Structure 1
Amino acid sequence: MIEINKALEDYILGHSENEDQVLKDLNRETHVKMLRPRMLSGHLQGKFLKMICQMQNPKRVLEIGTYTGYSAISMAMGTSSDCEIHTIDCNDELEHFTRKFFKQSGCEERIKFHIGEALDIIPKLTGEFDLVFIDADKRQYIDYYETIMPLLKQGGFILADDVLWDGKVVNETENHDKQTRGILEFNKFIQEDSRVENVLLPIRHGLMMARKK
């Protein structure tokens, strides 16, 4: 497998569709004003999420882990005007910043922004979802997965971010931190789950794609 160095990453980005201006602004402001800007999905993953939505044409999308809204806006840009996107984040301090960019994107009315713990909010949501994107607390990935599975349509997709976790998943040390253990347990759980078919993609920090049979 090719190692993605800075030069190759620049080449990949140079041969992918340009970043939308609102996302470029969001990317820049997140890096200037926010702690841990690395949590932002970014251009390559944003374009991938947008194209997945364009291929699937979902009518209801659920995102766990909004951060500053880059991935939610990317998915909104890839869906039709009648698609409803629910996104959940537990950090209420980011709400004003994130809502500002939802409004600037022109997708504000279709994005339903929930503030609170995902495991408390998801059971209160009604209706089924065509697509779910998980990018939150790695220690709770299996809990998120099991909570959303009853709401996922047959043939629907779950995408989970950070499943390669900077390569820590192949570090054989026994002293894994809790986040790394959460990712390792989640990857094993998905691989053994007969309810889905799955593929792990080396996009950004690793993206697990699972389709409900």
Structure 2
Amino acid sequence: MTTVSKSYESHEDPVIDYCTKLTIKMSPLQEELQKETLEKHERRGMLGGPEIFVIGQSFLNLIHGKNVLDIGTFTGASALAWALAIPEDGKVISMDVDHSALDQIGRSIIEKCSKTAHKIDFRLGSAIETLDKLIAEGKSGKFDLAFIDADKVNYTNYYEKSMELLRSGGVILVDNALWDGAVVKTEKDEATKAIDECNRRIFADERSNSFLINVGDGLHVAFKK
């Protein structure tokens, strides 16, 4: 049986446990935000796996990234991870149609560190509209990394717009790419179909080099040529 699991979920896979112990290093703010989200939010499973954040932070360090698109805010854990990895003059634009989870849990924790909080621009509203506005403002080719973890039916749209906004050498991370293993099943619901379609679009895209890996709930990584 194949295991697809975020590290904070209950499981009995010794390989995941081993990898987790030798991969994840969280700041005190990240530890607090994860703890509060898992304990207090009814949709706790929406929280990204910290192992995914480590991968994203590593890419930002590798490519000297400064500007990040964070598509899907929830409690702000992903935005916090990117803000911690970029320099003082960097910026994370985090977008979501709902800030209730952020206001309930994440915002007050993130604001404990003003040096980190000032790097994050939380935008309330449609991510599609936010991305289109950035393109209209002439920001195409100005971003270093895009993290996609929002409504699944728009995954391919988010990927396409992120490709437009990323510079050559930039990285796109598509979270939930295996959707708890559901993408390999014959019968798929609308969200799972959309993730599968996005995975296939990325694989066929000649504008990028990519790989799909079983880490967390699945991660599809694309490097813009």
Same fold (TM over 0.5): yes
One of 65, 89, 113 as aligned partner of 2:122: 113
Q: What pairs with 1:1-213 in structure 2 (closer than 5 Å)?
A: 3=3, 5-96=12-103, 97-105=105-113, 106-125=115-134, 126=137, 127=139, 128-173=142-187, 176-213=188-225
SS at match of 1:28: helix
Unmatched runs of 5 consecutive residues or more in structure 1 = none
Query: In angstroms, what is the RMSD of aligned CA positions?
Result: 1.8
Q: Is the 8 A contact 1:42 1:70 kept in 2?
A: no
Q: Is the 8 A contact 1:169 1:184 kept in 2?
A: yes
Q: 1:17 to 1:172 in 2, by over 3 A?
A: closer
Distance in 1, matches of 2:123 and 2:215, equals 27
Distance in 1, matches of 2:163 and 2:22, equals 36
Q: Is the 8 A contact 1:27 1:42 kept in 2?
A: no
- How far apart are residue 13 of structure 1 and its match? 2.2
Distance in 2, matches of 1:35 and 1:110, equals 28
Distance in 1, matches of 2:166 and 2:102, equals 26
Distance in 2, matches of 1:170 and 1:17, equals 28
Distance in 2, matches of 1:72 and 1:124, equals 20
C-alpha deviations, 1:64-107, integer Å up to 9, x for none? 00111111111111111111111101113224233212212441
Q: Is the 8 A contact 2:73 2:102 kept in 1?
A: no
Distance in 1, matches of 2:30 and 2:177, equals 24
SS at match of 1:184: helix
Q: Is the 8 A contact 2:60 2:66 kept in 1?
A: no
Q: Which amino acid aligns with 1:91?
A: D
- How far apart are residue 17 of structure 1 and its match? 4.5
Distance in 1, matches of 2:90 and 2:205, equals 29
Q: Which amino acid aligns with 1:195?
A: R
Q: Is the 8 A contact 2:29 2:110 kept in 1?
A: no
After superposing the two structures, state which structure 1 stretch, 120-129 or 138-147, moved more. Answer: 120-129
Over 6 Å off, 4+ runs: none
Distance in 1, matches of 2:185 and 2:26, equals 34
C-alpha deviations, 1:151-178, integer Å up to 9, x for none? 11122111100111111111123xx111
SS at match of 2:112: helix
Report the identity percentage: 34
- How far apart are residue 132 of structure 1 and its match? 0.5
After superposing the two structures, state which structure 1 stretch, 200-209 or 44-53, moved more. Answer: 44-53
Distance in 1, matches of 2:102 and 2:181, equals 31
- How far apart are residue 3 of structure 1 and its match? 4.7
Distance in 1, matches of 2:100 and 2:183, equals 31
After superposing the two structures, state which structure 1 stretch, 109-118 or 42-51, moved more. Answer: 42-51
- How far apart are residue 43 of structure 1 and its match? 2.4
Distance in 2, matches of 1:188 and 1:47, equals 25
Larger relative CO (CA 8 A, sep 6+): 1 or 2? Answer: 2
Q: Is the 8 A contact 2:74 2:99 kept in 1?
A: no
